[in-house]
Chain A
Amino acid sequence: MDIKLWINGKLIKDSVEPDTPMLEYLRSKGCYSVKRGCETSNCGLCTVWLEGKPILSCTLPLMRADGKHITTLEGLQSEAEEFGAFLADEGAEQCGFCNSGFIMNVLAMKRELKNPTEEEIKEYLAGNLCRCTGYVGQLRAIKNYLKSVKGEAGNE
């Protein structure tokens, strides 16, 4: 089946099996940040953006992306690194396996919610499971990151 889509801004025209999972396809295109944790929509590891909205690439069929833009962590390198430094400062990760999906959703939240409360942050990220950390360090990192981004915006 023919498909045309943009992955991290790059136009791709391809021929795929009709039931190709989005997650596998993205990995086959070199987006190894997209990981499979559960494949049952529960863990959030496979989070990517479709037209700027965070979605689960293990769940939505690839064909739904026909004519659309997908963004993965590879397409947000510098922003991801900036937030990653806040995670490191708080010791907010152990194995790091959950990280790419988690960062994708934090960066989506930053765009969607203005000045989120702690409750709103927790609710937005409830679909990102982390088996190692207990989330407290991550929450500290997010708060510090949002504060710093807001500060930078205020200084402009």
Chain B
Amino acid sequence: MLRCNEYIFAESLGEAYELNSKKSAAIVGGNGWLKLGNRQWGSVIDISRLGLDKITETDESFTIGAMVTLRDIEKHEGLNAYTNGAVKESVRHIVGTQFRNTVTVGGSIFGRFGFSDVLTVFMVMDSFAELYKGGVIPLHEFAKLPYDNDILVNIIVKKTPLKMAYSSFRNQQTDFPVLTFAHAFREDGAFSAIGARPSRAELRRDDESILKDIFSLSYEEAERAVDAYALWISSQYAYESNLRASADYRRHIAEVLARRTVASILDKG
């Protein structure tokens, strides 16, 4: 349960940042995660009145406000057209409609949870975290940073041409994922991210050029390249065991998801 002495609606990002500089303060997004803690907070800072609940699409980019909900990105036509439905696929298994109606992109990305479908899917895009003090930094770099008291304001996705897909594996519906996998073919290379290993998602590029020119290969050659890539990419990560799955099981699932996900992009052409 969320416990606090004060609940403050910030009137500006500057005020929210100032208030959040105290160790006893916390920003509240959808409260999905925050409320599971046991802490008595001094102040909880609500940034829901700062207009950060919008997705702005231009010819060059999407700017997704921190208070945009997971349901908003699930239903956003532009974002799903651009990602070939990968964004919807990444969130539609998360708990339920009611939950996704309130938990936020900001809380999901700032939390940098190991199991995060949301972090995994955005990581393979040309995406950036816009922080109030820290400025705009590539999402895959933000994901590695330690927690601090900055405020995540927006996620920016540049509309670099890409072909992408997402998949995850769960032991049962609506549970946390055992493994998450995203892949994108972009002009600057082929990128994959694997999360829930159970540690948080990390980005890798196909530096061995295993998938180079794959769209012009014959069906058999492409199939061999995808098999080789799945083996290679799944070996680029460390896996650990927890209650949901063993490290070995995760490694195996990573190879399977890599093969299926990359192949699904090729199937769509």
Show the binding face of A for B, using Cβ within 8 Å: 1, 18-19, 21, 39-42, 44, 47, 50, 53-56, 59-61, 63-64, 66, 105, 108-109, 123-128
Contacts and interface: CB of A to CB of B under 8 A. Distances in A.
Contacts of A47: 98
B99 A41 contact: yes
Given A123-B92, A126-B174, A127-B174, A105 B98 contact: yes
B80 to A, nearest CB: 15
B35 A59 contact: yes
B158 interface: no
B6 A18 contact: yes
30 contacts: A19-B4, A19-B7, A19-B44, A39-B1, A40-B36, A42-B95, A42-B174, A47-B98, A53-B101, A54-B97, A56-B99, A59-B30, A59-B32, A59-B102, A60-B31, A60-B102, A61-B31, A61-B44, A63-B46, A64-B31, A64-B46, A64-B102, A66-B9, A109-B97, A125-B96, A126-B97, A127-B95, A127-B98, A127-B99, A128-B96
A60 B7 contact: no
Nearest to A53: B101
B1 A127 contact: no
Given A42-B95, A64-B48, 5 more contacts: A18-B5, A41-B32, A55-B98, A56-B98, A61-B44
A26 B140 CA distance: 42
A116 to B, nearest CB: 12
A84 B9 CA distance: 40
B253 interface: no
Interface of B: 1-7, 9, 28, 30-32, 35-36, 44, 46, 48, 92-93, 95-99, 101-103, 173-174
A1 B7 contact: yes
A61 B92 contact: no
B102 A56 contact: yes
Contact of B97 (A18, A66, A127): A127
Nearest to B36: A40
A41 to B, nearest CB: 5
Given A64-B46, A126-B173, A18 B95 contact: no
Contact of A63 (B1, B7, B92): B7
Contacts of A123: 92
A50 B93 CA distance: 22
B4 to A, nearest CB: 5
Given A21-B1, A60-B30, A41 B95 contact: yes
Contacts of B46: 61, 63-64
A1 to B, nearest CB: 6
Contacts of B6: 18
A1 B2 CA distance: 16
**Central interface residue in B1, B6, B31, B36, by most chain A CB within 10 Å:** B31
**Central interface residue in A53, A105, A127, by most chain B CB within 10 Å:** A127
Nearest to A16: B7
A40 B48 CA distance: 22
A121 to B, nearest CB: 11
